[in-house]
């Protein structure tokens, strides 16, 4: 089955759902965000999750929610996880033709050393 065959199959699948008034009982998004009823929800691997900010964002006065891997956490815990992720993330840097991999924490130190006043 080619790429265009898959798109045609999906179009037929959704058209049949509409014609037959079929409403799926379970449907999840693998990755990305969805806006429904003024609520933006981020998903990763089918679970509510976002490391770069709140996973559920309301368009009214309700407080946004932080979720990681399907578990609700506090903003403080989210910020700690994000900092830990950034500190341990591997970055590739190039200095005078030499390639080196360093952690985010080391990259911060390098940037501080390279700053000029």
- Residues 64, 83, single domain; the answer is no
- Residues 40, 96, single domain; the answer is no
- Give the total number of structural domains in the chain: 2
- Residues 86, 61, single domain; the answer is no
- Residues 81, 34, single domain; the answer is no
* Summary mean pLDDT of the chain: 81
- Residues 62, 86, single domain; the answer is no
What confidence tens digit (pLDDT) does each residue in 101-117 have? Answer: 999 999 888 888 888 65
- Residues 23, 65, single domain; the answer is yes
- Residues 54, 79, single domain; the answer is no
The three-state DSSP-derived secondary structure of the chain is CCHHHHHHHHHHHHHHHHHCCCCCCCCCCCEEEEEECCEEEEEECCEECCCCCCCEEECCCCCCEEEECCEEECHHHHHHHHHHHHHHCEEEEEECCEEEEEEHHHHHHHHHHHCCC
What confidence tens digit (pLDDT) does each residue in 5-36 have? Answer: 555 656 666 666 666 666 554 454 556 788 88
- Residues 57, 94, single domain; the answer is no
- Residues 21, 50, single domain; the answer is yes
Q: Give the residue, 76 or 28, on which the prediction is more confident.
A: 76
The pLDDT, as a whole number, for residue 26 is 46
Domain that residue 12 falls in = 3-73
The CA distance from 97 to 83, in Å, is: 30
pTM: 0.60
- Residues 45, 18, single domain; the answer is yes
């Amino acid at each position: 089955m080619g790429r265009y065959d898959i798109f045609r199959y999906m179009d037929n699948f959704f058209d049949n759902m509409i014609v037959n008034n079929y409403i799926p009982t379970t449907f999840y998004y693998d990755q990305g965000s969805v806006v429904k009823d003024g609520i933006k929800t981020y998903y990763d691997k089918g679970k509510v999750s976002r490391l770069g900010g709140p996973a559920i964002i309301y368009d009214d006065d309700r407080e946004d929610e932080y979720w990681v891997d399907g578990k609700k956490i506090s903003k403080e815990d989210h910020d700690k996880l994000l900092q830990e992720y950034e500190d341990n993330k591997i970055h590739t840097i190039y200095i005078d033709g030499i390639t080196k991999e360093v952690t985010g924490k080391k990259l911060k130190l390098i940037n501080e050393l390279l700053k000029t006043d």
